[in-house]
A and B are shown apart, each in its own frame.
Chain A
C-alpha cells in the first residue's frame, strides 16, 4: 500500500494501509496523542486496507473498499471524503470479527474510582453520546463502541477509539470543545452526518487501565423518563446479543457473561433529553458505587 500508519487503541494494535494520502493524514492528526506504533519494530494485531474498489478508481472517481484480515463479503464502497470513517469502520470490523482476548461487548463505557459503568443498547439508544458527555464531566471515557471484558479477572478494558458522533448528537456532545479535538464533518454517510471526537487526554493516557464493572445501563432515547431494574436472565440475553465474539469464545464467553450478570446490577433507563439522562445516571451511580 502507498501510505500506512500504525495505531494502538486499548490493548489492540493496527496497521492501516491506504491507496490515498488523505485518510492517513486525518488519522495522524486525530491519533497524535495515542502511543505510537512503530511498524518496523512491532507486529500489529490486525491489518486494515483502504483500497480502490477497481484499479482505476484510485484516481478516477475515487472509491474506497474496506478490506483487511477480516472482511465482510458485501461491504458498501465509500467516498474518499469519508476515508477517515472507512478507516474507523475497518478497525471496528477487525475487532468485531477477530478479537479473541476478551469478550467483546458492543457497549460504551466510562470509569470513576476504578469502577466502570457499561452502557449497551441498539444504534440510536444514545450510548456513544452519553459516554462522550460523561467523559467531559468527571468520568474517564473508556470507549464509545466496545467494552472488553476480561474472562479471567472479570474486569473491563478500555477501547477508547475516536468517538463517533452522529447527526443531532454532534452539537450536543461537542459544545464548547476546541476544534483540534474534532474530525471533519462527514456529510451524507450511510448513517447521516458523522463527526469524530478525540477522547480527553486522560482517557488516552490511562487506556491500559482496567476497571471493575459496577453497573450495566440499558438506555433508550426518545421516551419519558423511567427506569426499572433488569433481571439477570434478560441482562444475559442482551449481553449475548451485544457481543460479536460470544459464540467464537465458546464456554469462556458463557462463563464470563454469567459471572458478569451475577455480579453487576442492570438498569433499563428511558430518557427524553441529555440533561435528564445525565442526572439519572448520577443518581443511579450513587446507589451502587
Chain B
C-alpha cells in the first residue's frame, strides 16, 4: 500500500531522500492516482531527488500552474457572462482556493469551475451562461430532470470553445440527502474578492468540504479532499474562537457529525493539530481511514469489499431506499453499470 507513504511524504518531505526506486515509483503513482502529485511536487520543492523523479515533479508543477491559470481565467470568463445579472456568485472548491490564495490551493489540481448562486436566480444564471457559449454536456432527459429536481447543482455545462466545464450549485448537498445546509447563509456571509466574485467563509469552506467528503459520495479520491481540510485547519485553526465557531456553524448547517468526523480523520491521517474535545468519538473512523488509504503502489484501489460498502453507503446517503431502487432500475435499463 502506497497511500500511507504519500501521506508521510506530504507531512515530512525530508523522508523522501531515503527512498529507493521502487518506493519512489509507488509514491509517485499513488500521488498521481489521488490527484495529489502537484501538491507533492510543491511540498518537495528544493529537496535533492533522483533526476528522473525531478523531471516528473517538474511536469506536475507545470500542470498545477496551468490548472491555476486556467481556473482564474474561467472565473474571469464566467464573471464576464454573469456580471450583468447583479447576482451573487460564490466560488467553491479548487477555484476558490486558487482565487483566495489559500494554502489548500498550492499545487492543487483544479478541474471544473464550481460556483454557488441563489436558487431563485438559477434560471437567469443558466440563461446567461447558455448565451455566452456554454452548452449542456449530457442531453439525456432523465438525467436532466433528475438533476433539476433532486440535485444541488444544474447538469454540467461545457464551454463550446474552451472545452471547460462549469457546475452551477444552489446548495452544497443533494436535496435528497438528510442534512439541509443553509444555502442562503452560505451566500449572505461569503467573503468578496476583487472582480465581483466571492468565496465562502473559512468555516463554510470546511462545512462544504466535510459535506462533500463524509456526507456525499463514496470517498473515491477523498484523500485530496481531506488534504484540503487539513490545509484549511492548519492555516486558520489558531485564530481566536475558531473551533467554537466551526462547531456552531456546522451545527447550523446540520453537518455537525460529518464535520467532526472530517476533523478527526484529518487529525488521524495528517496529524492536524485539533483541540482535545474534538478528538472524542469516532468508532468507525478506522474504516473511513482505511478507505481513504486504499491505494497500492500500482495506483490501484485495494480492499474491494470495503470500497463496495462505501459505494452502497453513498447511495443510501444520497436518497431514501425506495427512490434509490427506482433510480438504479432506470439507470440499469439505460445500460449504466457501476465501475468495479
Q: Which residues of A contact B (CB under 8 A)?
A: 1, 13, 15, 17, 39-45, 47, 49, 51, 53-55, 67-69, 98, 100-101, 248, 250
Interface residues of B in 63-115 (CB under 8 A from A): 63, 66, 69
CB neighbours (8 Å) of B174 from chain A are: none
Contact yes or no, A68 B55, CB < 8 A? no
Interface majority SS on A: helix, strand, loop or mixed? loop
Q: How many A-B residue pairs have CB under 8 A?
A: 55
Contact yes or no, A69 B29, CB < 8 A? yes
Q: Can you report 6 residue pairs joining A to B where beta carbons are below 8 Å apart?
A: A40-B22, A42-B21, A47-B299, A49-B299, A51-B300, A250-B66
Task: Tell whether B168 is near chain A: CB-to-CB under 8 Å.
Answer: no
Q: Which residues of B contact A (CB under 8 A)?
A: 20-22, 24-25, 28-29, 32-33, 50, 52-53, 55-56, 59, 62-63, 66, 69, 298-300, 304, 340
A43-B28, A53-B340, A101-B55 provided; 10 other pairs, C-beta below 8 A?
A: A39-B22, A39-B25, A42-B21, A43-B52, A47-B299, A49-B300, A54-B340, A100-B59, A101-B59, A250-B69
CB neighbours (8 Å) of B304 from chain A are: 55
Contact yes or no, A44 B25, CB < 8 A? yes
Tell me the bound Cα distance from A27 to B142 in angstroms.
45
Contact yes or no, A47 B29, CB < 8 A? yes
Tell me the bound Cα distance from A68 to B52 in angstroms.
18
Q: Which residue of A lies closest to B340 (CB)?
A: A54
Tell me the bound Cα distance from A101 to B22 in angstroms.
23
Tell me the bound Cα distance from A248 to B67 in angstroms.
9
CB neighbours (8 Å) of B300 from chain A are: 49, 51, 67
Contact yes or no, B340 A15, CB < 8 A? no
Tell me the bound Cα distance from A40 to B297 in angstroms.
13
Q: Which residue of A lies closest to B25 (CB)?
A: A43
Contact yes or no, A42 B298, CB < 8 A? no
Tell me the bound Cα distance from A44 to B69 in angstroms.
28
Tell me the bound Cα distance from A225 to B166 in angstroms.
48
CB neighbours (8 Å) of A39 from chain B are: 21-22, 25
Tell me the bound Cα distance from A43 to B50 in angstroms.
9
Tell me the bound Cα distance from A140 to B74 in angstroms.
45
CB neighbours (8 Å) of A54 from chain B are: 340
Contact yes or no, B66 A69, CB < 8 A? no
Min CB distance, B302 to chain A, in Å?
Answer: 12
Tell me the bound Cα distance from A218 to B58 in angstroms.
34
Q: Which residue of B lies closest to A98 (CB)?
A: B59
Tell me the bound Cα distance from A69 to B25 in angstroms.
11
Tell me the bound Cα distance from A49 to B298 in angstroms.
8
Contact yes or no, B298 A1, CB < 8 A? yes
Min CB distance, A63 to chain B, in Å?
Answer: 12
Tell me the bound Cα distance from A42 to B59 in angstroms.
18
Q: Which residue of A lies closest to B61 (CB)?
A: A100
Contact yes or no, B21 A41, CB < 8 A? yes
CB neighbours (8 Å) of A67 from chain B are: 299-300
Q: Which residue of B lies closest to A17 (CB)?
A: B298
Q: Which residue of A lies closest to B51 (CB)?
A: A43
Min CB distance, A185 to chain B, in Å?
Answer: 31
Query: Which residue of B52, B62, B63 contacts A42 across the interface (Cβ within 8 Å)?
Result: B52
Tell me the bound Cα distance from A53 to B337 in angstroms.
12
CB neighbours (8 Å) of B66 from chain A are: 248, 250
Which 8 pairs of residues, A with B, have the shortest CB-CB distance?
A: A100-B59, A43-B24, A69-B32, A43-B52, A47-B29, A43-B25, A43-B21, A41-B21
Query: Which residue of B32, B33, B56, B59 contacts A43 across the interface (Cβ within 8 Å)?
Result: B56
Min CB distance, B299 to chain A, in Å?
Answer: 6
Query: Which residue of A13, A47, A101, A250 contacts B298 across the interface (Cβ within 8 Å)?
Result: A47
Min CB distance, A269 to chain B, in Å?
Answer: 32
CB neighbours (8 Å) of B21 from chain A are: 39-43
Q: Which residue of B lies closest to A38 (CB)?
A: B21
Q: Which residue of B lies closest to A52 (CB)?
A: B340
Q: Which residue of A lies closest to B22 (CB)?
A: A40
Min CB distance, B77 to chain A, in Å?
Answer: 16
CB neighbours (8 Å) of A68 from chain B are: 299
Tell me the bound Cα distance from A49 to B297 in angstroms.
12
CB neighbours (8 Å) of B59 from chain A are: 98, 100-101
